[in-house]
Structure 1
Amino acid sequence: MGGGPRPFYAALLDMPALTPEARRFIEAEAERRIGWGSQAIAAGHAQLSLALASNDPAAVQQAANEVRSGVLRLESGTAALQAIAAGTPPRQFAQAWFREQLSISSPEAAPMVMEGGPWGLSWYHLTTMAFLVAFLLGALMIQYARMRRIGGLVERLTPGGAPGAAAAPKRDDATSPGTLAPDKGVAEQPAAPAARPVAATPDAPASAKKPWSGKLRVAAIFRETDTVKTFRLMNPEGGDIPFTFLAGQFITLAAEIDGKPVRRSYTIASSACQRSYVEIAIKREDHGAESRHLHDQVAVGDQLQVSGPSGAFTFTGEEADSIVLISGGIGITPMMCVVRCLNDKSYSGDIFFLHGARRVDDFVFHEELGYLQKRHPNLHVVATMGKVSATPWDGAQGPVSKEFIAQAVPDIAHRRVHICGPPAMMEAVKTSLLELGVAQNKIKTEAFGAAQGRVPSGPEPTAAAPPGPVPGDAPVAPAPAALPSAAAQVEFTTSGKTAPLAPDQTVLEAAEAIGVEIDYACRVGTCGTCVVPLKSGEVTMAVEDGLPTDEKAKGIILACQAKSIGNLVVEA
């Protein structure tokens, strides 16, 4: 069997002299090698780009081998052309080539005619390696920038962060009234959680900056009960909603109804862990201008004027290793946002959800809570109905009492509690919690209707309290009345107006009386929307929940709470 053609440099060993025939053979072979090498380098670079983009180490190695093979062929062809140009006999420069490839030095052999560079490498070799290093560094920088962008998007999508891991508490066989568990109202109850260190900083609003304001499109409307509808709002331009929020915050809707401007605030009920849309669940009130307008007039495709988010009644899962949510009526909406978000992020702590409704037919999100409880063993839902209705109910009946709470939540004194509902219900629940040993600083409240921004723990203030915020219709600005007689006055520097200021009148009310615009939402001191700089004077504020300590130290006040018996200068 005949052998194949000998390799190029092996064939040169049989050519002792550089004859014309040998020169033609070497030139042709050298040009072919240069062409092959150039093509291999180009192909290797292309493969390397694809391999880096797909983050495939094996493909990167294969591409590097392809480039290396091309460089060797290109160098061998170039060296052959240089040798015949210098008149070096073929056998001599072939031997020199082999010695260089095998790293064998020979003082007797003539050196290859290749211009040397640092570290014994040719300049061509050094240039090629420098190009490859620059290419790899550029690809790594692009990949790093992509990862930073992805990390930023993930951080924006998860404003509350993932909760820390917590050991699952041991459960006992206690039963709860009105539970939605499938075993005839009996739910497993966990034992008391382990002690958790008190946070070094107090609860604060998510942000002290001005809320976002713009249009959102009504993408869907869901009927929850005979009187409650859920409105799903999305970005009219597509993509995510143009703001982030925390579980428990609310947004404010503004509209002109019957020729009058109306503003109402509604708690976000959808999960804060996704940003495709926000949902608000609204109960139709016979005397609620905005709720009647939304229920009766607004349709899918309409656009609503929205501002927000606002509010400090939040829970992200980082604040405690378990949470007790107690709601009444439509006060269930902020609790649904919390439950949905905690489940979305696989919160490992126990979630106790206690709800009171007038009838089973008024129990909003009843079916969804039953499904979530079956799916998430750390969610314990118990409810009580105030009245008997045609719909069967095997659970508890009556108010959310001290006994109801104690039976539903083991060792409640060590847990954080959030309450939202009508004012009378909230005051009764807070009294029960204090009697059960829950510390004042572990009780967080949010009221609606005619409630305070927080349930008072001491004597009632002498001044009449403004209407309260959130799950239902929030307060509308009062119609400007006759300017009160007062010894004090407040000067608004931005608008260049001055208004009289009565001792029982807030800065916001004084501003509205003379047409000075100050943004607001809750009007009870919890949302932080109405913050304005105080340039001169002193004020008192009954509620400061929406004002961070550092901003208060800088002279920032809540216009809806600030009152004074002296002259004031305010930037508004």
Structure 2
Amino acid sequence: MDDLVASNRHAVWTDSEELECVSVLPEVPNTASFTFRAVSGALFDFQPGQFMTLELPLPDGVIHRTYTISSSPSRPRSISITVKAQPDSIGTRWMLDHLVPGTRIRAMGPAGQFTLLNYPAEKYLFISAGSGITPMMSMTTWMFDHGTEPDIVFINCARRPSEILFRGLLEHMATRLPGLYVKWVIEEPERFIPWTGFQGRFNQLLLGLVAPDYLEREVFCCGPEPFMHSVRDALSGLGYDMDHYHQESFQAPVATEAEIPELDDVTPDGSIDAEIVFAQSQRTERCTQNDTVLAVTRASGLNIPSGCTFGVCGTCRIRKLEGEVHMVHNGGISEDDIAEGYILACCSYPMGKVTVDV
């Protein structure tokens, strides 16, 4: 065996060879990192941010699950994935319950286009939520090991502090790497544990606070689709060039450049006409998609109470009776209010004909 390992010391692993699990590290609740090595001792060659597909031998039959690699190719003797089980997880739940050191499985890959090597830049902005942090961890470790000082603003959003993945590792790297700026954002604190960082949901205000030069940065984003949609809305609403935005989906990582989907987000267009009907005042005003409901209201001589004009205070909340608006708020309205038809006039853009109760 020793002779075999020695003879393959410089060989590169291919997915024709099984992987052997050599360690299982519990991370946060329902989450663990699994480290694998090639049985032959071959090295791993991949790009930071890529993914692998594992063949999992469940009792009812083999299933395949795709996971981002959380380790870095700068440490090629092993490869790690970090998985988080959801309530409906099957493959990940099996891994957490049954995959132990010594287990051998088959894997396919690595593959994927979500890597900073495809988009070299002087400044990066990594934005993730939950286990979407894994490709960012791989890319950050790669740059840390590269030996030069990068410029990375690293934002990770989690439900609570105890659910932040890789917190200790990233904060340790930040103490050794002056160009790494780590920012944690939680939805809610934990009892009896003071939290002095950011709290709330990702929005434009938060973006301006943690990365005021975001317009100059190459953005990589990974997390649940609603989270990534909010990130895209925040960036595009602030004039960011979305050609420099890249994302990886939990559900559909892409293997080739041709498979990268076109983003079909709704974006207001100043060249497209719109119309706002003020139901109480019995007036109609023409405008464009780039005009906020508040701006059109003021221009027409009507009055809506307003405060911050940035979607924070909620003062300009009104009811939308008909039509669609594109609203990018910063926490000034609840999901329940939105479901009942309310909007914030200061950050709502009419996408066609809209009727409001004013």
* TM-score, length-scaled by structure 2: 0.66
Give 1:239 deviation, angstroms.
4.1
Alignment-derived partner of residue 244 in structure 2: 442
Which of 415, 424, 431 is equivalent to 2:233? Answer: 431
Q: Does the 8 Å contact 2:27/2:33 carry over to 1?
A: yes
Contact 1:423 1:450 in 2 (8 A): no
**Cα deviation digits, residues 417-475 of structure 1 (max 9, x gap):** 0000010010010111112222121000111148996572347xxxxxxxxxxxxxxxx
The 3-state SS of whatever aligns with 1:339 is: helix
2:39 to 218, 227, 236: 236
Residues 445 and 455 of structure 1 are in contact (CA less than 8 Å); yes or no, is this contact kept in structure 2? no
Among candidates 353, 369, 375, match of residue 176 of structure 2: 375
Counterpart check, 1:257 vs 2:65: no
Whole-angstrom CA distance in 1 between matches of 2:227 and 2:207: 13
TM alignment of 1:236-385, pairs within 5 A: 236-241=39-44, 244-316=45-117, 319-385=120-186
Identity in percent: 28
Q: In 2, distance between residues paired with 1:218 and 1:290?
A: 16
| SS of aligned partner of 1:445 | strand
> One-letter code of the match for 1:280?
I
Q: Separation in 2 of the partners of 1:432 and 1:454?
A: 20
Between Structure 1 and Structure 2, the one with more helix by share is 1
Give the equivalent residue in structure 2 for 1:182: none
> What 5-or-longer segments of structure 1 have no aligned partner?
1-152, 158-210, 460-572
Alignment CA distance shift 1:233-1:441 (3 Å): same
Spell out, residue by residue over 1:147-189, the C-alpha distance to the aligned partner (whole angstroms, 9 max, x if none): xxxxxx7xx99xxxxxxxxxxxxxxxxxxxxxxxxxxxxxxxx
- Give 2:334's aligned residue: none
1:407 aligns with 2:209: yes
Measured at CA, do residues 402 and 334 of structure 1 come closer, stay the same or move farther in structure 2, by a change above 3 Å? same
Matches within 5 A, 1:415-494: 415-449=217-251, 454=261, 456-458=263-265
Equivalent residues in 2 for 1:45-60, closer than 5 Å: none
Which of residues 202, 219, 222 in structure 1 aligns to 2:22?
Answer: 219
Distance 2:53 2:253 in 1: 18
Measured against aligned partners, the alpha-carbon deviations of 1:291-326 in whole angstroms (never above 9, x if no partner) come to 011000111111111110111001138711111100
TM-superposed deviation, 1:351: 0.7
Residues 355 and 400 in structure 1, CA contact (< 8 A), matched pair in contact too: no
Unaligned runs of 5+ in 2: 1-9, 255-259, 267-358
Question: 1:205-248, CA deviations, whole angstroms, 9 ceiling, x for partnerless residues?
Answer: xxxxxx7343100011111112110000101122424xx11011
SS in 1 for 2:117: coil
Q: Deviations over 1:43-75 (max 9, x none)?
A: xxxxxxxxxxxxxxxxxxxxxxxxxxxxxxxxx
Q: CA–CA distance in 1 between the matches of 2:202 and 2:194?
A: 19
- TM-score scaled to structure 1, two decimals? 0.42
Alpha-carbon shift at residue 359 of structure 1 (Å)? 0.5
Q: How many angstroms apart in 2 are the aligned matches of 1:379 and 1:441?
A: 24
CA RMSD of aligned residues (A): 2.2
Structure (1/2) with the larger strand percentage: 2
Aligned residues: 250
Letter in 1 for 2:34: F
Contact persistence 2:21–2:36 (CA under 8 A): yes
Structure (1 or 2) with the larger CA radius of gyration: 1
SS in structure 2 opposite 1:429? helix
Distance 1:451 1:309, change over 3 A: closer
Cα–Cα, structure 1 residues 416 and 422, in superposed 2: closer, same or farther, change >3 Å? same
1:316-365 C-alpha deviation (Å, 9 max, x unpaired): 38711111100001100000000000000024330110110000010011
